[in-house]
Structure 1
Amino acid sequence: MNINLNRLSRFVAVYRHKSFSRAANELGMTHSALTKSVQMLEQELGAELFNRTTRNVVPTDAGNRLAQRAEELLALADQIGDEVLSGTRHLRLIVGPAVMEASLAPALTSFYKAYPDIRVTAETLPLDIAADRLRQREADMLLFHSTSVSAIPEQRLFHIHKIIDEAYVAVMRQDHPALQGTFGTDEMLQYKWAIPGYDRNYRSAIPSDIEEKYRRSGFPHYRVLSLVSCLALVAESDMITLLPASFAHREARALNLSVMPMPLSDGARYDVSAITLRNANPDPVVQALKNTFAM
């Protein structure tokens, strides 16, 4: 069976708007031309895609099933077209904010040395949107903190592989008064903290008695979804932050900051998972990129 991609994209527009008129305006087509295009697609598929009345356009069961795969087909066609035209492979990544700042640069630097001709696009999006993009083949791989990954719906569709597992460390100014005392939980909670993250999934991984102690102390004083911003706060104030060890040792010491073992005994770690489609064929280039994060 051959499916005309132009007709498929027009079907998607009608499905999204639930209206032939609005879809025709968006596409710059006449109503009659769009209707004929969808009718020809229905003939190709041998199935009615919409129930039409004078007021409503309601997708049939077949229309709903096609819509679930149409975006994927169109995205794959665009990707193939780009790669044929440019002659280069294009990898598309969606990553969490912490991964973008802490881990992406060294991994891409290593990957570029081995695969200099492959294009890479990396962006950050909420995980639910990222998962939809991956399902529709508008992304090749997701990279998110493993505590967040547990919230992905329909996990059976994905292959999830942990690629980073390292400790968090405390970062503070070299003249910080905390360096003169002990590093017990009660003592460290007397200071103000800037934490990049600390959402519900993160808190759920902390033992309940310790998490209760955190909340009673008002921890964290700043919750800022940027490792770089937390570093800047620490460098210019008496705040303390927790950062992935590799990022802290690479960046914090350049600012003449002290890096210490994690003083708060919640056992949380910076662990990142790579997420790919389970039913996709093994891709050696994606695997090579994944391997750079473990180096």
Structure 2
Amino acid sequence: MELNLTRLRRFLSVYRNESFSPAAEDLAMTHSALTKSIQALETEIGTALFERSTRQVVATEAGHRLAAKAQELLAFSDQVREETLSHHPHLRLIAGPAVIDGPLAPALVALQRSQPEARVTVETMPPDVATVRLLRREVHALFYHSMTVASLPSRGQLKVREIIDEPYVVALRSDHPAYRHGGSMDDLLQYRWAVPGFDRLYQSAMAPDREEAFRKAGFPHYRVLNTAACLSLAADGDAITLVPRSFALGEALASGLVTMPISHAPRYAVSAVTLTDAPRMIALDALIAALARE
């Protein structure tokens, strides 16, 4: 079944207006022409989309379902048209909060120098939702912690490249008791933690004994969407946060925090995820190479 996009746009106008007359006026077409267009769409799909009465037009269950999907389809259609007509590459990316706050910004600066015409849109969202969008080809690549990536669905359709692997360090106030006593990750679980982007898939990829220790400790006490907020909780409160070593050299010290290495801690490993059959994009290759150098 091939859906006519023009009819879908007309259907959405009727759906939003709950009436044919104002929808026809919005679309600059006659009431009868709009009615025939909706009837053709119903024939095309094979089910009624509206319950019609003399006073109002009410969507059927099928109409409600189509409205939700039609908006996504039309938005994607507009994206395809824009990218087809554009002379410049437009990278659409989804990344974890710690990637956006950490290595992505300097990598984008490097991309700007090597590919000055490239446009980039970066979003963050739960990784399983991001994977659905990648499989729908609504975005070009995902960047998440490698432990999260290991638990993504549909791995057979995904090309995974680990591009960053470095130690985490603890960032905390110099007067925090943990700084005086030090210790392993297990020792530090007794304190309050603030962590960016500690998602369900990351947690499920842990070894069972590790996951149990984190669960019993209530780790993390604060799970927020960016590293800057975690650093503020550490600087102005009693929280400890975990940051990549390269990030700690600048941002953590700028916040007035001290850092210390930690034994038995997970590593900051980031993977780039694309579709196995995706066409090559020079701008994306350049960005991934820049991330790998950061």
Q: TM-score range with shorter-chain normalisation? A: 0.7 to 0.9
> Following the alignment from structure 1 to structure 2, what is the Cα–Cα distance between the partners of residues 287 and 69?
32
Aligned to 2:46: 50
1:274 corresponds to which of 263, 272, 275: 272
> Following the alignment from structure 2 to structure 1, what is the Cα–Cα distance between the partners of residues 164 and 39?
50
CA apart distance, 1:294: 0.3
CA apart distance, 1:5: 4.8
Unaligned runs of 5+ in 2: 52-58
**Larger CA deviation: 223-232 vs 19-28:** 19-28
Letter in 2 for 1:160: V
SS at match of 2:47: strand
> Following the alignment from structure 2 to structure 1, what is the Cα–Cα distance between the partners of residues 95 and 161?
14
> Following the alignment from structure 1 to structure 2, what is the Cα–Cα distance between the partners of residues 150 and 35?
50
Measured on the aligned residues, the alpha-carbon RMSD in Å equals 3.9
Shift of the 90–215 alpha-carbon distance from structure 1 to 2, 3 Å rule, reads: closer
CA apart distance, 1:111: 0.6
Superposed, 1:46-195 pairs within 5 Å as 48-52=44-48, 55=51, 75=76, 78-81=79-82, 84=85, 87-185=87-185, 187-195=187-195
> Following the alignment from structure 1 to structure 2, what is the Cα–Cα distance between the partners of residues 24 and 50?
24
Deviation digits for residues 22-73 of structure 1 (CA, Å, limit 9, x no counterpart): 699668346643454467789xxxx9422348848687xxxx9xx9999668
The answer to whether structure 1 residue 213 and structure 2 residue 209 are counterparts is no
CA apart distance, 1:103: 2.2
> Following the alignment from structure 1 to structure 2, what is the Cα–Cα distance between the partners of residues 53 and 227?
46
> Following the alignment from structure 2 to structure 1, what is the Cα–Cα distance between the partners of residues 212 and 220?
12
**Larger CA deviation: 175-184 vs 233-242:** 175-184
Q: 2:172·2:235 contact (CA, 8 Å) conserved in 1? A: yes
Q: 1:242·1:262 contact (CA, 8 Å) conserved in 2? A: no
> Following the alignment from structure 1 to structure 2, what is the Cα–Cα distance between the partners of residues 237 and 20?
51
Unaligned runs of 5+ in 1: none
Shift of the 214–87 alpha-carbon distance from structure 1 to 2, 3 Å rule, reads: closer
% identity of equivalent residues: 43
Deviation digits for residues 180-233 of structure 1 (CA, Å, limit 9, x no counterpart): 324134542343222223333333333333433333344333333321111112
CA apart distance, 1:82: 5.7
Q: 1:93·1:141 contact (CA, 8 Å) conserved in 2? A: yes
> Following the alignment from structure 1 to structure 2, what is the Cα–Cα distance between the partners of residues 224 and 112?
29
> Following the alignment from structure 2 to structure 1, what is the Cα–Cα distance between the partners of residues 153 and 185?
35
TM-score, reference length from structure 2 = 0.75
1:285 corresponds to which of 260, 283, 286: 283
